[in-house]
Amino acid sequence: MEREKKIEIVEGYINGLGNRRDFTGVAFAPDVTFENPMTEKLHGVEDVTNYLSGLFPAIKGCTIKSHIVEGEYVASLFDFETVFGVIPVFDRFRLDLEQGQIKEIRPYYDPRPITEAMAQQQ
């Protein structure tokens, strides 16, 4: 699979979450996993999309900065514009190269803007 195709798959997810707020057409593998600093590991399209859809109200948009592509992995740097402020995210994806699908999503970010805002609301 060409580098551009790998980036297209990943950007479909990032834009689905951050700009469209819709996962229609996103190439998730049936057994996709998702793990971030604020959740336990999620398994399967339904669990992953249900969790991520719950984030839609907090996300205003996103700006993709860059990608690093190596084999079945794509690492992407982007900024989420959220109700908590701008949150830089470094997301590591593992792709199923035969099926052209996302198998693993592992974002890394500083959760403090979110947790601090949540603490102030209590």
The pLDDT value given to residue 115 = 79
Which tens digit of pLDDT belongs to each residue from 50-98? 999 999 999 999 999 999 999 999 999 999 999 989 999 999 999 999 9
Strands 28-34 and 42-43: antiparallel
> CATH classification of 3-121, choosing from 2.60.40.10, 2.60.40.60, 3.10.450.50, 3.90.1150.10?
3.10.450.50
Cα dihedral 81, 71, 1, 4 in deg (nearest 10): 40
The pLDDT value given to residue 90 = 98
- CA distance linking residue 28 with residue 101, whole number of Å: 5
Domain locations in the chain as residue ranges: 3-121
The pLDDT value given to residue 73 = 99
Which tens digit of pLDDT belongs to each residue from 6-52? 999 999 999 999 999 999 999 999 999 999 988 899 999 999 999 99
